[in-house]
Amino acid sequence: MKTDPKQLVAALKKYASLATLIKGSPDPDAMACSFALKCVCDTLGIKNGIFAEKNISLPQNRALVDKLDIPIKIPFPADLSKFDAYMIFDYQQARIPDISEKLPCAVHIDHHDASAEDVSCDMRIVDSSAGSASTIVALLLKELDLEIGRQAMTRMCTALLYGIETDTDGYSHARKPDYEAIDYISKYSDTSLVKKISSIPLSKKTVSLLWTAMENITLYKDWLITGIGFIDESNRDSMPIIADFLTKREDVALVVVFAAVEKSRGAGLALDASFRTKNPGLDLDSIIKGITETGGARKFKGALQIDLDFFTACPDRDALWKIISATMTEALKKRRDGIYISGIKGYYRRLRNRIFWILKKGH
Ligand SMILES: [Mn+2]
* Ligand 1: centre distance to CA 329 (Å): 37
What is the DSSP secondary structure assignment for residue 234, as one 8-state letter? G
Average pLDDT of the segment spanning 43-58: 91
* Distance between CA atoms of residues 3 and 120, nearest Å: 18
Ligand 1 centroid to 175 CA: how many Å? 14
| 132 CA → ligand 1 middle, Å | 5
Rounded to an integer, the average pLDDT of 244-273 is 89
Mean pLDDT score across all residues of the chain: 88
User: 131: CA distance to ligand 1 center in Å?
Assistant: 7
User: For residue range 217-231, what is the model confidence (pLDDT) as tens digits?
Assistant: 999 999 999 999 999
The Å distance, Cα 96 to ligand 1 centre, comes to: 18
For residue 203, pLDDT over 50 is answered with yes
Its sign, for the CA torsion 332, 333, 337, 339, is positive
What pLDDT score was predicted for residue 58?
Answer: 75
Say how many Å lie between the CA of residue 133 and the centre of ligand 1.
5
Rg (CA), the chain: 25
> What's the longest Cα–Cα distance across the chain?
92
pLDDT recorded at residue 120: 93
User: Domain 213-346 classified CATH 3.10.310?
Assistant: yes
Alpha carbon distance 89, 135 (integer Å): 12
Ligand 1 centroid – CA 233 distance (Å): 37
Helix/strand/coil for 27 = coil
pLDDT at 229: 96
Distance from C-alpha of 111 to C-alpha of 127, rounded to nearest angstrom: 5
**Among 60, 107, 112, CA closest to 91:** 112
Q: Please, which pLDDT band fits residue 118 given cuts at 50, 70 and 90?
A: confident
Interatomic CA distance for residues 127 and 324, integer angstroms: 37
pLDDT band at 255 (very low <50, low <70, confident <90, very high): very high
Tens digits of per-residue pLDDT, 138-163? 999 999 989 998 889 999 999 999 99
Q: What's the pLDDT score for residue 113?
A: 80
Residue 130 has pLDDT above 50, yes or no: yes
Distance 226 CA to ligand 1 centre (A): 29
> How many angstroms separate the alpha carbon of residue 128 from the centre of ligand 1?
10
**Residue 228 or residue 247, greater confidence:** 228
Distance, in Å, from the CA atom of 40 to the CA atom of 12, rounded to the nearest integer, reads 9
Distance (Å) from CA 219 to ligand 1 centroid: 30
Band of the pLDDT at 360, cuts 50, 70, 90? low
pLDDT at 362: 55
Interior angle at CA 263, CA 260 and CA 266, nearest 5 = 95
Note the CATH number of domain 5-201: 3.90.1640.10
Q: What's the pLDDT score for residue 200?
A: 44
pLDDT for 56 equals: 85
Ligand 1 centroid, distance to 284 Cα (angstroms): 38
- Looking at residue 348, what is its pLDDT? 59
Query: What is the C-alpha separation between 27 and 323, in angstroms, rounded?
Result: 47
pLDDT for the residue numbered 105: 97
Quick check: 344 pLDDT over 60?
no
Please give the distance, rounded to the nearest whole angstrom, from the Cα atom of residue 247 to the centre of ligand 1: 24
CA of 119 to the centre of ligand 1 (A): 20
| 130 Cα–ligand 1 center, Å | 9
Could you tell me the pLDDT band of residue 254, with boundaries at 50, 70 and 90?
very high
Neighbours of 280 (CB within 10 A): 8
Q: Compute, in angstroms, the gap from residue 38 CA to the centroid of ligand 1.
A: 18
pLDDT digits over 299-335, tens only?
Answer: 788 899 999 999 999 999 999 999 999 999 999 999 9
Distance from C-alpha of 156 to C-alpha of 144, rounded to nearest angstrom:
14
Which of 56-65, 152-161, 199-208 bottoms out in mean pLDDT, i.e. has the lowest? 199-208
Cα gap 316→312, rounded to integer Å? 10
CA 227 to ligand 1 centroid distance, Å:
31
Average pLDDT over residues 104-132: 91
Backbone φ, ψ for residue 93 (5° rounding): -140, 155
Q: Alpha helices of the chain — where are they, by DSSP H?
A: 5-13, 28-44, 59-68, 133-144, 150-167, 176-185, 191-197, 204-215, 238-249, 284-289, 317-337, 339-362
Question: Domain segments of the chain: what residues?
Answer: 5-201, 213-346
Terminal Cα distance for the chain, rounded? 67
CA of 144 to the centre of ligand 1 (A): 22
pLDDT above 70 covers a percentage of the chain that reads: 91
pLDDT at 363: 46
Distance 167 CA to ligand 1 centre (A): 6
Predicted local distance difference test score (pLDDT) of residue 95 = 92
Amino acid at 84: D
Please tell me the predicted confidence (pLDDT) of residue 109: 96
Q: If you average pLDDT over residues 105-129, what whole number do you get?
A: 90
